[in-house]
Chains A and B, each alone.
Chain A
Amino acid sequence: MSDAAHAHDDHGHHAHPAGIMRWLTTTNHKDIGSLYLWFSLIMLFTAGSMALLIRSELFEPGMQLMHPDFFNQLTTMHGLIMIFGVIMPAFTGFANWQVPLMIGAPDMAFPRMNNWSFWLLPVAGIMLLGSFWLPGGAVAGGWTMYPPLFIQGGVSYDLTILAVHIMGLSSIMGSINIITTILNMRAPGLTLMKMPMFVWTWLITAYLLIATMPVLAGAVTMLLTDRNFGTHFFNAAGGGDPVMFQHIFWFFGHPEVYILILPAFGIISQIIPTFARKPLFGYASMVYATASIAILSFTVWAHHMFAVGMPVAAQLFFMFSTMLIAVPTGVKVFNWVATMWKGSLTFETPMLFAIAFVCLFTIGGFSGLVLAMAPVDIQLQDTYYVVAHFHYVLVSGALFSIFAGIYFWLPKWTGHMYNETLGKVHFWLSVIGMNIVFFPMHFLGLAGMPRRIPDYALQFTEFNQIATVGAFIFGFSQLVFLYVVLKAIKGGAKASDRVWEGAEGLEWTLPSPAPYHTFETAPVVK
């Protein structure tokens, strides 16, 4: 408790206990942001290892390494953990670190609730991962939790449902905190339309979370009561309808994919202007495009279900509303390119990841448009084309933006510059590895290879072997990332306050590293 003596008691803050209790009881937005990011990184390596096991099994046709049921457990858990344990916590970590710094607030609006939001996550993570050791193993019904498989499974399915409840609660609490902070705690003069894009995208994302996470909670609650309390929401034998689960799930699920990408748009919108040394092109249109994407995301859910069956009129509606989302997304890509146009570009690691994001996310967006066409989708549904599509938007989209954001703000957080050479090594290995894994999957899917199956026909062998080699390059290159981050925390060249020559915004007016308490008196924005 000797640390407590020289804590910031003069400002009326709580003294920090030492050791593990410091982290368990912290209410500081920077501590909690770091906790989120570390949790996310550990889960990235966990779920990434599962992906490497999957790719190892798929290196050759036939069954090599594992029982098919274990393969199904791996694909299910890989999906669940990557979405709920990696991408979402990482973005929430960024929000915790950056939102108060960017709007000139001393902390988040509800610091104790913030602590809860984080510490619920490891509990859910342990429940998910622990279920591997339960009788019957972990859930194997796919991350989308469709009945009847999810009604029929063993005890790990109940545990997974509870884990989803807990993660949902964590997200809702985090979102309430973020919205309240942004709406009530901005520095004087920082009007909504002057907010940095990252803050805007998170404001909209948080609204999406509050609107959809409770719907997911409702859907999994119905699964739980169907399993344990004799209800028949989805149990066809009792008059229920399993297709209804898919509608409710995707009513959450499609806004969820924008929850996974809108904060990425925000990060990229901070980075590109910095390294192009120009203000963001079309700021207002960026804000409106983000809001339109969020609103439209509630009208497209059934495009995940074209093969399930629905009237032609409904197929046409969902097909065209899905294609309509390409318009605001196109506005964003145009604005990023226009920001770079005639800018004084330099290519530090954050900018490299940002440019790769713009190119590769756009490929993922285009394959999404292909899948949006109902007649084509009926062919491609549940093939590797879909796997290729969502990995282009989630790996080279969401994950690359997280890498970009880490390299961008790490000097501000740690006070040290990361090793630029190693950062570039990480970038090139990642971008090449990622394309080797996922590009061949387009061809596999067009040729008809089904996803979530541990075996495949002989003619798919070569592309699968290429993908597996790429997966190992991509996977192991993340160790470089871990090394670069650890090294920058330990030491390195001293970062200046502004860090980047073209950096604009309140966070860059603070010293590097950012002190434990910042903006205790609000700055004034002209």
Chain B
Amino acid sequence: MATGKSSTLTKLIVVALGMFGFGFALVPFYYKICEVTGINSGDEQALVKNTQVDTSRWVTIEFDANTNEGLQWRFTPVQRSLKVHPGQLVQVEYDVVNDSGHAIVGQAVPSYGPARAGAFFRKIECFCFTPQKLAAGERRRMPVLFVLDPSMDKDLHTVTLSYTFFNADAKAQTAALRQTAPHG
């Protein structure tokens, strides 16, 4: 009788201690479940989810970069092309270096190929929104954040985004005007 009681006692104490541990084991278990099922992860909740991504098609975007002849800058896209879904939030970067010996203000102007694709580029952030001032020899990486409007024409499979940097200093602009003026 006594041995029966003490063995039951031991078993029950083990169960109780085990369940105390189980309470703590629920903590990693909880985070694992959240991770596997993708619920409740802090990063994803922080971003507003775009529900309008058109996953049925891909569009190739080619990135092009040029500088106007009056500007001694080296200007290149970090990535040459990218495949994206219309509606998807895309961030790309451009690299720019001022090779001249003095500070210059430049202004980038975009163009699109084909031109009708331009109406569907929804830029959220772009270095072309403001003039960029680069000190002598300065190198800078500049972002573009955009969404291709999902209503974009279905026959557009490849779109080119091209930027050209112009010298935006007032003196340079008048000089450029003087050069071009005789040719009318």
Contact = CB atoms under 8 A, between A and B. Distances in A.
A241 interface: yes
The 5 nearest A-B residue pairs measured at CB: A218-B23, A214-B20, A214-B19, A215-B23, A180-B8
A244 B17 CA distance: 21
Secondary structure call for the A interface: helix
Contacts of B12: 175-176, 179-180, 210
Contacts of B9: 109-110, 176, 180
A133 to B, nearest CB: 31
A58 interface: no
Interface stretch (B24-32, B70-78, B111-119): B24-32
Contacts of A50: none
Contacts of A215: 19-20, 22-23, 26
B23 A219 contact: yes
A14 B27 CA distance: 48
Interface string B152-163: 000000000000
Interface string B1-25: 1001100110011011111111110
B40 A241 contact: yes
B12 to A, nearest CB: 5
Contacts of A222: 24, 27
Given A176-B12, A183-B8, A244 B20 contact: no
Contacts of A110: 5, 9
Interface string B66-100: 00000000000000000000000000000000000
Contact of B16 (A176, A185, A219, A248): A176
A217 interface: yes
Contact of B4 (A184, A243, A247): A184
B30 A241 contact: yes
A179 B16 CA distance: 13
A211 interface: yes
A497 B140 CA distance: 98
20 contacts: A109-B9, A110-B5, A110-B9, A172-B16, A179-B12, A180-B12, A183-B8, A184-B1, A184-B4, A215-B22, A215-B23, A216-B23, A217-B23, A218-B26, A219-B23, A222-B27, A233-B27, A248-B26, A248-B30, A251-B23
Contacts of A5: none
Interface in A184-222: 184-185, 210-219, 221-222
A310 interface: yes
B16 to A, nearest CB: 5
A185 B4 CA distance: 9
Contacts of A212: 19
B30 A244 contact: yes
Given A184-B1, A210-B19, A244 B27 contact: yes
Interface of A: 109-110, 172, 175-176, 179-180, 183-185, 210-219, 221-222, 233, 241, 243-244, 247-248, 251, 310-311
B37 interface: yes
Nearest to B23: A218
A391 B23 CA distance: 28
B15 A251 contact: no
B39 interface: yes
A219 B4 CA distance: 33
B16 A214 contact: yes
Given A110-B9, A184-B1, A210 B26 contact: no
Interface of B: 1, 4-5, 8-9, 12-13, 15-24, 26-27, 30-31, 37, 39-40
Contacts of A172: 16
A510 to B, nearest CB: 22
A218 B24 contact: yes
Given A210-B16, A211-B15, A243-B40, A180 B23 contact: no
Given A175-B12, A184-B1, A218-B24, 8 more contacts: A176-B9, A176-B13, A176-B16, A180-B9, A213-B16, A217-B23, A219-B23, A243-B40
A211 B26 CA distance: 14
Contacts of B23: 214-219, 221, 248, 251
Contacts of B16: 172, 176, 210, 213-214
A211 B19 contact: yes
Given A176-B12, A210-B15, A251 B26 contact: yes
A214 B22 contact: yes
Nearest to A169: B16
A116 to B, nearest CB: 14
B4 to A, nearest CB: 5
Contacts of B21: 218
Contacts of B15: 210-211
Contacts of A211: 15, 19
Contacts of A217: 20, 23
A19 B37 CA distance: 62
A98 B16 CA distance: 25
Nearest to A212: B19
